[in-house]
Chain A
Amino acid sequence: MVDELTTRIRALAAEARTSAAGPEGVAALTGVVERLDGPIRLAISGKVKAGKSTLLNALIGENLAPTDAGECTRIVTWYRYSDRPFATIVPNEGEPVETTYRRGQDSLEVNLDAHDPEAIDHLEIGWPTKRLADVVLIDTPGIASISAEVSARTHRVLSAERGRVPIADAVLYLLRHTHSADLRFLESFHDDEVAEGTPVNTVGVLSRADEIGCARLDAMEVAERVARRYETDSRLHRLCPVVVPVNGLLGHAAATLREDEYAAVAAVARAPKEVIGELLLTADRFATGESSLVPTEDRARLLDRLGLFGVRLAVELVRSGAVETSSGLSSQLAEVSGLGRLREVVLRQFDARARILQARSAVAALREIFARGDCSDGPALMRRLEQITSGAHEFEEVRILLEVRSGELSLTPDQAGELDLLMGGSGHEPGTRLGLTEAPSADRVRQAAVDALARWQAVERHPLSSRATQIAARAATRTLEGMLAG
């Protein structure tokens, strides 16, 4: 369905290119097509010290993002897949320039030459890693500490201002553990303009999740509980309906766990339980305490890599015999870190929707091009574009989803939940849309769809339903009909 839509838009763009007046129009149209065919663009956003760079490194699996102060953190940086590593400076004005870089201890040090950071629109880093094959990551500067100019740039990455094409397709918003039962929550949440991510394309990431539970062994479960509570919070729900707890540090360490690190963990784990307890009581004791199990500097390094929670967990896993090899430990830690789940949420659950959002961005871009008169037969092309969009049920679904999540429709909570699923809120598979668990049989799906159809038809016809609700119900019946027909 989405592919069909994409194909039609792409065809229209190709056709328009033939009638494009001048190279600028051609370039713009080429950009539209490239955007449509490219991987999802995922922006990472959040306050300073929320753990953005750590999460980014963990997602890439390499130390690319600078995790400390420096000019680079003030510049929006794109990380995309490439066969060969490169770094390109894209200035506000003029052509992109490739530049040199140096692989530092913990980050990539890009040579900005004589470029004024203020004059740089963004940096592009290409890196040959399969983790970037299906996603472009956009690192945005933390907003609380930077100049208005940079802040504006971050804003532009995330928002689709005045019908302009948004630069990012989806947004990861990093929340640290904050709280409130009243508007204070939004006060702190609204401390920057990130909220421009809409509820259909923002995923909340509860970062530094291990700290919430004080690095105890059940810390991630506590974080999970907190995340669930956030999801049910109606106000937060409007901003990011999905919240995933992630321990970026651990995820990164898991992805890059070395054999000697495993050996160190194993050496500690072999000690008697009381000794381990004493040693892991505090970070200080582990890093600097007297112990002959592992050299002090190795312990300090291990702690830096895994964090206290990670060390405790790893030692426990090895000690209890749950894992016996470094690869086993690596995969266990990765699972606990929540990073895998985040990737899954973003790429599976959001993939289909992101395609639609991409398509929508493309439509917006085409509309702008046609209206500007870059093509000789703009009005005719515009009509064709309208035909495509007006018939696109996918756009309608996204629109309804947005309405449901922003609480605009007067529905009962049950109805809202059902409609959310039906509009593809958790994924576009028929079973998921109907809220069926596991892998349901075709009959079961069919029966559920028929039942739901009757329900939503009733809602649509109900004399007391508001107009908006009627429209939403009609969209639901159409989705269900499509499902039954397909």
Chain B
Amino acid sequence: MGDGSAMIRCTNCKHPNQDGAIFCANCHHFLAWESAPAAGGEPESEEAPDPPAQADPEPPPQPRAEGAPERSRESPESTAPLTPVAPTPGPAAVRDLVAVIDASGTLVGSRGRADLSRRLTGVRTMVQQRSVTVAVVGEFKRGKSTLVNALLQTAACPVDADIVTGTPTLVGYGERLHVVAHLQKPGDVDETTEEVRFEDLATLVSERSDDQPTDVRSVEVRVPHRMLRSGLCLLDTPGVGGLESVHGQLSLASLNGADGVLFVTDASQELTAPELGYLTTALERCPRGALVVTKTDLHQHWRRIVDTNREHLATAGIDVPVFAVSSFLRLRAARESELNQESGFAPLAEFLAGVLEQTLRHQAGRAAHEVDFVAAQLAHENDAERVVLARPESGGAMVEKLDAVHERARSLSAPSAAWQQVLADGIQDLVADVEHDLAARLRTVLRDARDIVDESDPKDTWEETQAWLRRQVAEAGVANRDLLLHRANQLSDAVAEQFSLESGSGVELELDSVTRALAALELPSASTFAMPGGRLGSVLSSGRLAAYVPLMALSVALNTTLLIIPPAALVGAVVGRTLFKMESKRQKVYRQGQAKAAAGKFVDEVAFEMNKDTRDGLRRTQRRLRDEFQSRAGSIQASTSAALAAARRASQLSPDAQAARAAQLDQETQQLGRIRDGMRTLATAGSA
């Protein structure tokens, strides 16, 4: 494997691609789905080739015909594909994972554990729905929307020479073309969604010329595009207008949820200091980034600009790839494919493939934790039974031990469990701390604002002061959200720790006769937490989501409170500027008072909105954490009682039946062991 003969032929343009490619080098179509069937019509049977990238080959998963519906599209008879194809590591990991999940599902089903099979279904959905978000950010009019369009060679994002994108637009895969708008009506806490016609998209996302804030928070465009089938989602953002601006702060905050970031600048000029600053900050939040220099078709000296940009990056100590592209050529390449090379998009697609692969591997790792948890639950039951079968004489003692564990597991799901206390207290502390932090930040801002107003006449300076104030408040808001996020993660760690502490270290079992694959039996929870790649990946991701939602609300707060500003802004709008410097001191003092009141009111409004959002968000987080741990506790309890029952049952079997049962259990245990080994490998890879 991995020699020159390993090629993936693109089904779209027949271009032979390098082994391991995710997108076709010629037309950038997504290849992984193609490679799956080519790997062998009736695939991944016992003799299926090992995935090349894995040093430690995974156990061949149980084939399940309906496990991967995509495969059935190709004729299974084609046993001799044109080229021997190796599946790519990223998506292959996902594909294998789905197979493993299904295999475990069969086992779980045979045990009648509804709780575990629910869990598996959830994981399976998460893995299959995989979405990898790459945000496209940059200053105004640098060609962000055009870049997205050019990448996909479709008109997914509206572009215009004059009008700019005003609403974040997520372009992702869908079976059919449709557009969904996420709306938040004034005063509503939750977003509502509404399907809109594609023709209305342009008016929806274009920046409006009037001052009215719109209800539209974001727009989702679903396109049946082959490249997007990989799970790639492109987030087109409004121009940031400098790190200093409110929008800059907000889109920076939204990067917390992105898996990759493309910073877009154009070939007309080198990176400016604000752009560089923004890039630095953006990469702190989303380390997988690249600089894309667009419009190379328009500027003769783009190579010099690109070189200068590279130097700037090197000076700033930023190590990201730089891609020079021409969206214009790439769009034309839809008709004349030979232009593709010239457009410079190939390395960019390669970069995206890298992001995709890494993220998917990471997601697979997260899912692996879950599958491992389920497998461990089953193994626990099996082991108890096997010990009793191996040493029938110790059956009584075994049952006693299991009884004790069962008791402990039951107390885990009781409302009085200590982890419940940690969670409840933690949330209360969190609310208090986060609110205090926001209050402190805003107070500083307000004090500065008052000083500024005192030092000048609002008539001349209010506009600037107002802009400054909005920036500062946005900055404070984002910093506060970061704190919230950080603390929420800490809390879920603390709860997890308490939980595993409580669930105990497990039962000591003498396993001399049951040697293979079983060193010690432990309560499953501990192993789940101790796995590499951090604890509770999936819970953390839901925590992140819950905290992410309020951020959108911050922009609402800033927008709606803007409506309150105008009366005060009038103070500033009465700008006689330099000609009318002769006004009485009294008037000035009056204006200063007005301005300070307006600033205070603005800050109050923002604090009010944000505190509400903090509470809402944390309540959601609390509920999610509680439900998650509750269901884990339930599973553990069910496992212990099943183990108990199994042990009792085993001790009452006839010797013949015991032997048969032991053989069956051995086989199952081996399978479980393989699954768990595989999952650990995946989890390790995902956390790398």
Contacts and interface: CB of A to CB of B under 8 A. Distances in A.
A233 B207 CA distance: 14
Contacts of B577: 196, 198, 402, 406
B298 A283 contact: yes
B247 interface: yes
A348 interface: no
Interface stretch (A8-16, A102-110, A172-180, A442-450): A172-180
Interface string A149-167: 0000000000111110000
A163 B580 CA distance: 10
Nearest to B241: A184
B55 interface: no
Contacts of A373: none
A184 B245 CA distance: 7
B581 A163 contact: yes
A304 B162 contact: no
A315 B467 CA distance: 47
A286 B578 CA distance: 50
Contacts of B328: 214, 282
Residues of B in contact with A, size category:
35 or more
A453 B555 CA distance: 50
B463 A214 contact: no
B329 A282 contact: yes
Interface stretch (A17-25, A114-122, A186-194, A377-385): A186-194
Given A180-B241, A208-B268, A198 B578 contact: yes
A283 B164 contact: no
A183 interface: yes
Interface string B260-300: 00000000110011000000000000000000000111111
A181 B208 contact: yes
B269 A49 contact: yes
Contact of B576 (A182, A184, A406): A406
A284 interface: yes
A285 B467 CA distance: 45
B467 A222 contact: no
Contacts of B581: 162-163
A232 to B, nearest CB: 9
Contacts of A308: 298-300
B346 interface: no
Given A178-B141, A198-B577, A281-B297, A188 B241 contact: yes
Interface in A465-481: none
A179 B140 contact: yes
B562 interface: yes
B166 A229 contact: no
Nearest to B269: A49
A433 B245 CA distance: 41
Contacts of A188: 241-242, 245
Residues of A in contact with B, size category:
35 or more
B579 interface: yes
B576 A408 contact: yes
Nearest to A288: B300
Contacts of A187: 241-242, 244-245, 467, 471
Contact of B300 (A49, A211, A283): A283
A226 interface: yes
A408 B570 CA distance: 10
Task: Tell me what chain B mostly uses at the interface: helix, strand, loop, or mixed.
Answer: loop
A177 B164 CA distance: 11
A300 interface: yes
A222 B162 contact: yes
B470 interface: yes
Contact of A184 (B162, B246, B297, B464): B246
A181 to B, nearest CB: 5
Contacts of B471: 187
Interface in B402-450: none
A375 interface: no
A407 B298 contact: no
Contacts of B298: 211, 214-215, 282-283, 308
Contacts of A345: none
Given A180-B241, A181-B209, A282-B326, A407 B573 contact: yes
A406 B580 CA distance: 12
A406 B211 CA distance: 18
A162 B302 CA distance: 46
B463 A180 contact: no
A282 B296 contact: yes
A159 B245 CA distance: 26
Nearest to B582: A163
Contacts of B574: 408
Most chain B CB within 10 A, of A145, A178, A208, is at A178
B300 A181 contact: no
Nearest to B160: A222
Interface of B: 140-141, 161-162, 164, 166, 207-211, 239, 241-242, 244-247, 268-269, 272-273, 295-300, 302, 326, 328-329, 332, 342, 463-464, 466-467, 470-471, 562, 573-579, 581
In the A-B complex, list the 4 residue pairs whose CB atoms are closest, starting with the nearest.
Answer: A282-B297, A283-B300, A179-B164, A222-B161
Given A181-B210, A226-B162, 7 more contacts: A180-B241, A181-B211, A190-B463, A198-B579, A213-B161, A225-B162, A308-B299
